[in-house]
Amino acid sequence: MPDQIPPAPPITGGFEELRGGHLGVRLATTAADLDASYALRYRVFYEEMGAVPDPAAAISRRDIDAFDAVADHLLVVDHQMGEGPESVVGTYRLIRREAAERIGRFYSADEYDISPMLRFPGQVLELGRSCVNPAHRGRATMQLMWRGIAAYVNLHSIDLMFGCASLHGIDPDANAEALSYLYANHLAPPEICPRALPERYVDMRRMDPASFDNRRALAALPPLVKGYLRLGGFVGDGAVIDTQFNTTDVAVVVKTELVTQKYMRHFERQS
């Protein structure tokens, strides 16, 4: 059973902490690191964003599932807050193909047909469970998190990144402009386009593209979604309503060869 899979040893070789002022980004290496990540996820997803905890999560006040045991966990830490778990202010879950094979699937497969990712000949990486402490939600934290992802991608020769990104709320019409903009302007090519599972498929084409301003729609997207798009990313076909997490999810795909040279030079300079 998935919940019986033992944790994988942390994969930290070759990944040194990257610093930006008093902030750093590194991989979790201890049980305390992981616990801090799960606690931060609970505070953001459940206490702030309105997700509905199951009984175990409500008691532990931790967001944790079977996929955490096989994942690497990227952490943003604020050294002004200490050097232990109290310093963890951001987190991102990273699952490579061989890690997903240990559990039998990727997390995104619960919402999307990801067969294009499974057929992809290169190294693939699923990104998920991203969150940042409210007081640290700014450009510096997001840039450092993307530096960490870029370093991880380079370390493991990742060719394709994918995952689910979320819009707040479960009413697709409340996110009509965002969904319509993403479908009209950033739909993935067929060979790498995930599609929402038939029983969960929500049509993203909710507005005529001529009826809204693209620049305004882009500006209103969540920072994480905009970050994927700046990296040359695409979205899949169909949104998915996640009632537990109070979100409308979209699939995102980034071929690392399509990351702009500007971004690669930026990451290399700062790394």
The answer to whether 143 and 132 have CB atoms below 8 angstroms apart is no
For range 2-12, the mean pLDDT: 46
3-state secondary structure labels for all residues of the chain: CHHHCCCCCCCCCCCCCEEECCEEEEECCCHHHHHHHHHHHHHHHHHHCCCCCCHHHHHHCCCCCHHHHHCEEEEEEEHHHCCCHHHEEEEEEEEEHHHHHHHCCCHHHHCEECHHHHHCCCEEEEEEEEEECHHHCCHHHHHHHHHHHHHHHHHCCEEEEEEEEEEECCCHHHHHHHHHHHHHHHECCHHHCCEECCCCCECCCCCCHHHCCHHHHHHCCCHHHHHHHHCCCEEEEEEEEECCCCEEEEEEEEEHHHCCHHHHHHHHHHC
Q: Which residues, including other chains, have CB under 8 Å from residue 24's CB and lie 6 or more apart?
A: 17, 18, 76, 77, 79, 144
pLDDT in tens, 204-229: 999 999 999 999 999 999 988 998 89
| Integer Cα distance of 5 and 15 in angstroms | 25
For range 149-158, the mean pLDDT: 89
Number of domains in the chain: 1
User: What CATH number is attached to the domain comprising 206?
Assistant: 3.40.630.30
- State the pLDDT at residue 160: 94
- State the pLDDT at residue 259: 57
Distance from the Cα of residue 73 to its chain's centroid: 11
Q: Token digits for 237? A: 């076909």
Nearest CA to 126 out of 117, 134, 135 is that of: 117
Distance from the Cα of residue 44 to its chain's centroid: 14
* pLDDT over 90, % of the chain: 73
For range 175-184, the mean pLDDT: 97
* pLDDT over 70, % of the chain: 90
- State the pLDDT at residue 87: 94
Amino acid at 245: F
- State the pLDDT at residue 240: 98
pLDDT band, residue 78 (cuts 50/70/90): very high
pLDDT in tens, 44-73: 999 999 999 999 999 999 999 999 999 999
pLDDT band, residue 143 (cuts 50/70/90): confident
Share the mean pLDDT of the chain.
Answer: 89
- State the pLDDT at residue 269: 54
- State the pLDDT at residue 268: 53
| Integer Cα distance of 173 and 117 in angstroms | 29
Print the domain residue range for 70: 2-270
For range 220-246, the mean pLDDT: 92
- State the pLDDT at residue 1: 32
Q: Which residue has the tokens 């699939």?
A: 251
Q: Which residue has the tokens 């616990």?
A: 35
Q: Is 137 exposed, middle or buried (0-12, 13-18, 19+ CB in 10 A)?
A: middle
pLDDT band, residue 256 (cuts 50/70/90): confident
